[in-house]
Amino acid sequence: MEFKVNSKELEKLLSKIIPAVPTRTPMPILENFLFEVKDGQLTIYATDLEISLKSSLNIVAEENIKIVVPARLLNDVVRSLKDTTIHFKLAANKKINIVTDMGKYTISYLDADEFPEIPSVEADKSAKDINEVIINGIELRHAFDKCAFAMSKEEMRPAMMGTLFEFTDDGLRLVTTDGHRLVNMLKKNIKAAFNQQYVVPERAVSVLSKILDEKDVKIHLTKSYVSFKLNDIELITRLIAQKYPDYASVIPLENEFQMKVNTKEIHDSIKRMMLFSTSSTRRVKFSIKKDALEISAEDLDIGASGEEKVVCEYEGDDLEIGFNSAYVNDVLSHLGTEEDIIFKLHSPTKAVVIEPVQKKENLDLMMLLMPVRLNT
Amino acid sequence: MEFKVNSKELEKLLSKIIPAVPTRTPMPILENFLFEVKDGQLTIYATDLEISLKSSLNIVAEENIKIVVPARLLNDVVRSLKDTTIHFKLAANKKINIVTDMGKYTISYLDADEFPEIPSVEADKSAKDINEVIINGIELRHAFDKCAFAMSKEEMRPAMMGTLFEFTDDGLRLVTTDGHRLVNMLKKNIKAAFNQQYVVPERAVSVLSKILDEKDVKIHLTKSYVSFKLNDIELITRLIAQKYPDYASVIPLENEFQMKVNTKEIHDSIKRMMLFSTSSTRRVKFSIKKDALEISAEDLDIGASGEEKVVCEYEGDDLEIGFNSAYVNDVLSHLGTEEDIIFKLHSPTKAVVIEPVQKKENLDLMMLLMPVRLNT
């Protein structure tokens, strides 16, 4: 039993699949690829039981083969080869010989039945119906770029460890939050024939961010799974089986005081103030008066402090409000492409809404920051 | 007491000095800069007690000041500022105010007498005479690039944790070794008026590699210290107070079998074989016959193996010899600019000499590799 494949084509294929291989896992079998040769097509699978990736390649093969091979070793070997033909030959004792014009390599394989089952949306028996939507890859990646950072890392509330995909009549809404900050974006040009909420886990979002390109992505959704079909690769992930928190209830509507600032100026200032904020609280203080913002921080541990004035437009009441500077920095980093932003404020204890001044045609974007207490 | 300095000039100065600030130290005082303002000149010092760096800048100052300030905080703050004038003002309670047109920052300082004494070659009382030599900065950096990797990391034999500078009638010889591999280079164009051995510690070599440029370096040597004076910065280091091992006695003279190989080809092959060598031994085997080199490795833990043929020219006896593949890789990485290299061999237990085929006019370069046993 044998098959042949070009080294550079295989390298490209493996590099797309390897992101699904877990780096540390109590199940060593997951550190392998499943190789399936069927009717002249090589399909490679990898999974960490949450997400799975698969991709195929036409090759020269006489027979059908299904084996499990060590993912990182094979990936490293193939990457280190020149452009050449690789000849895979099954040998005795569960060995596979890999022969090129440079040399001969032997690795151990396992039987295919030791590999966990790869879920497929089509085979999801809990699925009454499958919803479908098509999104441009770059557009989806840009959306993830803006919102992925705010997903929670705490396992207490599993739904918040994912990104909410909410299909509505107005478009696709993406929401992420960890309770300290929240991103809420509405992509008005992405319309689906259904209204439904899905929570996609963090790892699927992070792997997708690496492999999305300018091609369209065909998305199939069931109650339990979502599949993202790219040009030449498919990612399938379990959905988080928990209701997403009622994000709308935490977004304040009556924040009447608006402060307009230049994004880069306030961000540069925050980055400096982070150097002076106590490492345990990371607290910075915003002191806001008519057309005047002063940002200050103090690190009592090392006896250092800083204060800066930032140009702003503000007509509201005088206000002193505290934030975790790392969270402000995160929000500003992800609004970095905006020229000016608006802080919508109400009081030192009320969530603050941050929005770009320049509205985009197909995008409503808002971020929310919870304040921290100043008098502790 | 106050002084003014341009932010970008200070940033440049601090970036040159900060490499001497230790990252982890049981002596927190070493995590500071010593700032000395004297007669309109700001001199900044940092030391880890082994190496010291100092550099100066002309500034606007009315008085003389000598204080100790937190190195990383100040470096981070200055780096984050735009091009502006920084106004340093000493305040009450050992605070220093740093005022720019953007804001005001306050940090604590310590008195200068808390900072350890910075050694100077001139003040070295053990120095009977001071030797001087001038070396071009780029030339010295290139020499370090080739030999620094082979310095030992084991504290058992302190001399091997440095680079031997041996000034001879033939030129400057640099030697590094950790007992497994050795680099021996003779820079014939660097002549000094004295014949002497000095052992420069690893940290001095690594910091110098970062700051050397095309300018000449004035080197002053005493029994205990060496100072490297660059254009605008001076590095002073203790010398390792131990005799360097007799490197000449380990270099075999009677290795009569010569194998010529292309450097890139054998290096690529070694990189692949590293993937198949057992992680505990990293052993690869060279099987050498007339004009034929086969490199092989085996990882018994994971049941993988590899073998490759590499084109070579060889007329000697058939030979099988083992190496630590990581050490072969290191040596080949540092010979990577050479088109072809020669392995000079004698037997499976004798050190192997590796030299470039193309001799350079002013440089004799050889590397040496100890073999490992094959039958264990």
- Facing B103 at nearest CB: one of A76, A106, A307: A307
Closest-CA residue in chain A for B305? Answer: A106
User: How do residues B39-53 score in pLDDT, each as one tens digit?
Assistant: 999 999 999 999 999
**Chain B residues 293-312 within an 8 A CB cutoff of chain A:** 302-309
Give yes or no for a contact between B226 and B235, defined as CB atoms under 8 angstroms apart: no
pLDDT at site A126: 63
Q: Which residues of A touch B306 (CB under 8 A)?
A: 77, 103-106
Phi, psi for residue B138 in degrees, rounded to 5: -65, -40
Range A185-195 burial, b when 16+ CB lie within 10 A, else e: bbbeebebeee
Compute the distance between CA of residue A219 and CA of residue A217 in angstroms, rounded to an integer. Answer: 6
User: What is the signed CA dihedral for A323, A326, A327, A329, rounded to 10 degrees?
Assistant: 100
Whether the CB-CB separation of A50 and A61 falls below 8 Å is answered with no
What is d(CA B28, CA A194) in angstroms, rounded to the nearest whole number? 62
Interface touch A103/B309, C-beta < 8 Å: yes
The three-state secondary structure class of A296 is strand
Provide mean pLDDT across the span B61-78: 94
Chain A residues closer than 8 Å to B107 by CB: 302-304
**Distance, in angstroms, between A268 CA and closest chain B CA?**
8
* Closest-CA residue to B354 (of B365, B346, B342): B342
Q: What confidence score (pLDDT) does residue B15 get?
A: 93
Partner-chain contact B80 A105, CB within 8 Å: no
Contact B272 A81 (CB under 8 A): yes
What is the average pLDDT across B61-86? 95
A22, A23, A89, A106, B110 from A70: Cα distances, Å? 12, 13, 16, 12, 57
Cα–Cα dist B277/B254, whole Å: 30
Residue A105, chain B, CB below 8 Å: the answer is yes
How sure is the predictor about B60, in pLDDT bands with cuts at 50, 70 and 90? confident
pLDDT of residue B186: 97
**Domains identified in chain A and CATH numbers:** 2-114 (3.10.150.10), 131-249 (3.10.150.10), 252-369 (3.10.150.10)
What is the ipTM for the molecules in this complex? 0.87
Question: Does A81 reach chain B within 8 Å, measured CB to CB?
Answer: yes
CB within 8 Å: B303 and A276: no
- Check: CB of residue A37 under 8 Å from CB of residue A69: no
Q: What is the pLDDT of residue A125?
A: 62
Q: What is the mean pLDDT of residues B200-211?
A: 96
Q: What pLDDT sits at residue B362? A: 92
List chain A residues with CB under 8 Å of B286: none
Q: What is the dihedral of CA A310, A314, A318, A321, to 10 degrees?
A: -60
Looking at residue A288, the DSSP 8-state letter turns out to be E
Residue A78 C-alpha, separation from nearest chain B C-alpha, in angstroms: 9
The minimum CA-CA distance between B254 and chain A, rounded to whole Å, is 33
CB-based contact (8 Å) between A180 and chain B? no
Q: Is the pLDDT of residue B201 over 90?
A: yes
Residue B25 DSSP code: -
Q: What is the pLDDT of residue A120?
A: 80
Three-class SS of residue A366? strand
A102 touching chain B per CB within 8 A = yes
Helix, coil or strand: residue A246: coil
Q: How confident is the model at residue A60 (pLDDT cuts 50, 70, 90)?
A: confident
B212: exposed, middle or buried (Cβ count in 10 Å: 0-12, 13-18, 19+): buried
CB A339 within 8 A of CB A238: no
Q: Is A239 helix (H, G, I), strand (E, B) or coil?
A: coil
Q: In terms of CA atoms, which chain B residue is nearest residue A96? A: B304
All residues of chain A having their beta carbon less than 8 Å from the beta carbon of residue B269 are 102-103
Over range B174-198, report the average pLDDT. 96
Instruction: Please give the pLDDT value at position A325.
Output: 97
**pLDDT single digits (tens) A265-308:** 999 999 999 999 999 999 999 999 999 999 999 999 999 999 99
Q: Which of A82, A106, A275 sits opposite B304 (nearest CB)?
A: A106
* Nearest-angstrom CA–CA distance, B47 and B116: 8
* Partner-chain contact B271 A80, CB within 8 Å: yes
Per DSSP, the three-state class of A193 is: coil
pLDDT digits (tens, 9 = 90+) for A232-269: 899 999 999 999 999 999 999 889 999 999 999 999 99
- DSSP H helical segments within chain B, as ranges? 7-17, 71-79, 137-147, 202-211, 263-276, 325-333
For residue A148, the distance in angstroms to the closest alpha carbon of chain B comes to: 27
Residue B148 has pLDDT above 80, yes or no: yes
Q: How many CB atoms lie within 10 A of CB A196?
A: 12
* Segment 251-290 of chain B within 8 Å of chain A by CB: 268-269, 271-272, 275-276
pLDDT tens per residue across span A107-166: 999 999 999 998 887 776 666 689 999 999 999 999 999 999 999 999 999 999 999 999
Residue with tokens 């049941």: B303
Q: Given an 8 Å threshold on Cβ–Cβ distance, is A76 in contact with B275?
A: yes
Q: Is B28 on the interface with A (CB under 8 A)?
A: no
Q: What share of chain A is helix, strand, coil (3-state, %, to 5)?
A: 25, 45, 35
Tokens 């001087």 label which residue?
A: B132
- Asked if B81 has any chain A CB less than 8 Å from its own CB, the reply is yes
Query: What are the φ/ψ torsions at residue A156 (nearest 5 degrees)?
Result: -60, -40
- Residues in chain B closer than 8 A to A105 (CB atoms): 272, 276, 304-307
Q: What is the pLDDT of residue B142?
A: 95
- Percent of chain A past pLDDT 70, that is, above it, reads 98
* Minimal C-alpha gap between A53 and chain B (Å): 25
pLDDT at B336: 82
User: What sign does the dihedral B57-B61-B64-B66 (CA atoms) show?
Assistant: negative
Rounded to the nearest angstrom, the minimum Cα separation between B81 and chain A is 8
Q: Which of A284, A374, A262 is nearest to A329 (CA)?
A: A284
Two tokens at B185? 């280079």
Encoded amino acid at B362, one letter: N
Q: How does DSSP assign B60-109, residue by residue?
A: EESS-EEEEEEHHHHHHHHHTS-S-EEEEEEETTTEEEEE-SSEEEEEE-
CA distance A72 to chain B (A): 10
Distances (CA, A) of B170 to A198, A255, A366, B166, B252: 76, 80, 72, 10, 20
Answer yes or no: do B303 and A108 touch at CB < 8 A: yes
User: For residue A81, what is the nearest residue in chain B, using CA coordinates?
Assistant: B272
Burial state string for A130-167 with b = 16 or more CB within 10 A and e = fewer than 16: ebebebbbebbbbbbebbbbbbbeeeeeebbbbbbbbb
Q: How far is B102 from chain A (nearest CA, A)?
A: 6
How far lies B2's CA from each of A85, B45, B64, B102, B111, in Å? 71, 19, 9, 18, 16
Nearest CA in chain A to B266: A102
| Average pLDDT taken over every residue of chain B | 94
A105 and B276 within 8 Å at the Cβ level: the answer is: yes
